Amino acid sequence: MAYLLAADIGGTKTLLQLSAVSGEVLASQRYVSADYQDFEQILTAFLAQAGGHYQIDVACLAIAGPVNANSAKVTNLPWQIHADKITTTFDIAKVILCNDFEAVGYGVDALEEHDLLTLHAGQPAPGPRALIGAGTGLGQAYLVQQADEWQVIATEGGHTDFAPTDRTQVRLLEHLFERFGHVSYERLVSGSGLETIYHFLRDYRQYEEDSDCRLAMMKADAASVISEFARKGEPLAKEAMNLFFSIYGAQAGNLALTVMPKAGLYIAGGIAAKNLELLEKAEFIAAFLNKGRMQALLERIPVKVILDPEVGLNGARLLASKAMYN
């Protein structure tokens, strides 16, 4: 029997799945990426937990970072991943590396209606699709249809220059420019970016910070804590989330103008999916549409949130399955 390995490797978490080529899932596991020195340690632990001996025919590793042929660097971790090394160390016949948003793109086609939430209905028409997703970083990709298949093109568009759209965002840009020199959208539309926005607003608005929120941020993931307190209505956390989603929506609109995804723009990543109520109430769609003379054009583009947290893993498995026959 042929066996496939799929991996979704990110700065926060790494998902692994072992399956038969028939589709039967034999083992699946989630790991905290920062707990391991490199990906090889995670894969060793996973295969030991899976038990038995499986001769893996194809592995597809979806990596949150740029891929250069047979090697890749995880953007938010000091991990270098080399396909040849994985092939030799683990005796895998074929190892494919791809950008994590390339895998998400291939996973989109397998989504059911219940895996999606429509933020803006638009007027879907034949044409490209686009993907954007904030998590540890900010991923972007676009899809074009060729014959009966979608071809996914990964990008590093999350690292384009941040462009403020109001006075508060201008002050935010000035604040970050002093710290970093170059300020990309990923500096703000990411988990660490949400924390940055929170601290900026605390000082800029001179908020009296909620002591429970401050203490919780010291003990746990700051972005998750800010989201939790925003859902409870805490003023500073709520304003931080609103500003975060406004900047997020503006960059989604920039991507839409660049790609013209008439078949839809899809929002991936854990931050949106875990904060749907805040997302729907925030200025995301207003910022998405706020493109002056191009607003009417963007009003036609459907915008949907991907609810399936394993869409990238599923896309990696699909790519591994295709590689069996190529």
Binding residues: 7-12
Q: In 3D, which of 27, 4, 13, 7 has the Cα closest to residue 224?
A: 13
Is 189:269 a contact under the CB 8 Å cutoff? no
- Using CA of residue 295, residue 297, residue 299, residue 303, what is the dihedral sign? negative
Give the 3-state secondary structure percentages of the chain, helix then strand then coil, rounded to 5: 45, 25, 30
- Residues making up the binding site for ATP: 7-12
Helices marked H in 77-190 = 83-90, 100-108, 167-180
Amino acid at 302: P
Is 141:152 a contact under the CB 8 Å cutoff? yes
Is 114:326 a contact under the CB 8 Å cutoff? no
